[in-house]
Amino acid sequence: MNAKIDFRKISFLIVDGDKISAQVVYDTLAYLGASHIQRVKTPNDAFEILRREKIDIVVCEWRLRGMDGLEFLDVMRNSTNSPNRFIPVIMLTAHSEHKYVTTARDLGITEFLAKPFNAKALYSRLVSVIARPRRFINTGTYFGPDRRRRQVQFDGPDRRSLDE
Amino acid sequence: MSHFDWGSGAIVKPEEPKKKKNVQIIPAQTDLKKRAVNFVNGFDINLSPEQLEELEQVVQRSSETFVRDVGKDLMDCRRLVIQALGDKSKRPDAVTACSDLAYSVKALGGTFQYPLMTQIAKSMENFVADRTTANEKQLLVSQLHIDSLYVILAGRVTGFGSTVEQATVAALTKLAERYEQPRE
């Protein structure tokens, strides 16, 4: 028997100033059965909703008016005023170059989806966030999902101390 | 404290205690998984090719909106660029409009089977990146990009086009490189 995801039980917040892009994500989530989907254009509106309601997943565009998607993510993960430091954030962006991916990763992004995207890519990010949650790492310089997705065997005393 | 090692015959200094990194590992939040993952309701975690095809069709529903809205945005942007050619004070706004349009088309063109538009928009985005204004020639280069995007959209040229279209993309990129400076 195959495992399934019941999207009716998940609430989504789309933060995207582009009408068509937001509509594509909205339509896809609605088709999957999600009924709690909200759309806003700016991070300030997003914070308002996040402080007021329980949102499970944020789908956010990098390029936004005022505060951009990265600053939004930074506040979510690192600010004492953050409504939920652990909330999964899927970042959508047409900035698909490697440097952008690593920047977003190092600020605590949960999933990164480069535009132009297709339905399969979006679905796989949703599955990853919902069915394969990652542990969080808190250091002096990073707070966010574990960036080591591949767990390799290590037989030393303290793997992380080798990072220096 | 250092000591004499009888085996090697050397004076051995004690190792400095290793500074441990202050790392807190917080277990994964499984609330969402417990709530939504099951074996009865919803969509399979691994979608079949047919289900993926249906999902893709949902994305493509917005294709007509894309054509209509981007067509209008291209015309508005073109108008702004033409006005800016005769009025220097309008140039910053024209550059901002070009930048927004380029990003939007680059992001969505490929999603709606217009990867050629994504290619041209990418060239335009690179051209206007980090500019606050543009000179006359640079505005004309932007206008050529806009016109090319419009022709592709109006002709509904899906896919990467033929060699002619690819040659046009290459020519636009070269033109953008040629008039890249000054960047102010």
* Contact flag B42-A6 (C-beta cutoff 8 Å): yes
pLDDT tens-place string over residues B121-176:
999 999 998 888 989 899 999 999 999 999 999 999 989 888 888 998 999 999 99
List the single best residue of B16, B22, B26 to mutate versus A (max A Cβ within 10 A): B26
**Strand-strand pairing, B43-44 and B37-38:** unpaired
Pairwise CA distance, residues A3 & B45, whole Å: 6
* Residues A156, A161, A164, B2, CA torsion sign: negative
At B170, which helix (H) or strand (E)?
helix B163-178
As a whole number of Å, the end-to-end CA separation of chain B is 64
Q: What is the pLDDT of residue A151?
A: 66
* Contact flag B42-A7 (C-beta cutoff 8 Å): yes
Pairwise CA distance, residues B105 & B122, whole Å: 8
At A101, which helix (H) or strand (E)?
helix A98-106
Q: What is the pLDDT of residue A97?
A: 84
> Token pair of B179, please?
């008039």
Pairwise CA distance, residues B168 & A119, whole Å: 30
More confident residue, A96 or B126: B126
Does A31 have pLDDT greater than 80? Answer: yes
Q: Chain A partners of B107 at a C-beta cutoff of 8 Å?
A: 18, 21, 93-94, 115-116
Cβ neighbour number for residue B63 with a 10 Å cutoff: 18
> Token pair of A162, please?
């080798």
Q: What is the pLDDT of residue A33?
A: 95
**Binding-face residues of A in 79-108 toward B, CB within 8 A:** 86, 88, 93-94
pLDDT tens-place string over residues B45-66:
999 999 999 999 999 988 888 9
The shortest CB-CB distance from A28 to any of B21, B22, B58 is to B58
Pairwise CA distance, residues B108 & B111, whole Å: 5
Cβ neighbour number for residue B161 with a 10 Å cutoff: 18
Does A162 have pLDDT greater than 60? Answer: no
B146 interfaces chain A, CB cutoff of 8 Å? no
Does A164 have pLDDT greater than 50? Answer: no
Does B21 have pLDDT greater than 70? Answer: no
| Nearest chain B Cα distance for residue A8, angstroms | 8
Does B22 have pLDDT greater than 90? Answer: no
A110 interfaces chain B, CB cutoff of 8 Å? no
B32 interfaces chain A, CB cutoff of 8 Å? yes
Q: What is the pLDDT of residue B35?
A: 95
* Contact flag B52-A86 (C-beta cutoff 8 Å): no
Q: For residue A39, give the DSSP letter.
A: E
Q: What is the pLDDT of residue A109?
A: 95
Q: What is the pLDDT of residue A161?
A: 58
pLDDT tens-place string over residues A104-147:
999 999 999 999 999 999 999 999 999 999 999 999 899 999 98
What residues contact residue B108 under an 8 Å CB cut-off, 6+ apart?
A18, A20, A21, A24, A115, A116, B66, B70
Q: What is chain B's mean pLDDT, rounded?
A: 90
Instruction: Judge contact between A108 and A145, C-beta under 8 A.
Output: yes
Q: Chain A partners of B29 at a C-beta cutoff of 8 Å?
A: 86, 133, 136
Cα distances (angstroms) measured from residue B44 to each of A6, A59, A126: 9, 21, 12
Q: Chain A partners of B24 at a C-beta cutoff of 8 Å?
A: 137-139
Is pTM beyond 0.90? Reply is no
pLDDT confidence tier of residue B19, bands split at 50, 70 and 90: low
The shortest CB-CB distance from B41 to any of A6, A131, A134 is to A6
* Residues B100, B104, B107, B110, CA torsion sign: negative
What b/e string do you get for A43-72 counting C-beta neighbours within 10 Å, with b at 16 or more? beebbebbeeeebbbbbbbbbbeebbbbeb
Q: What is the pLDDT of residue B180?
A: 84
pLDDT confidence tier of residue A61, bands split at 50, 70 and 90: very high
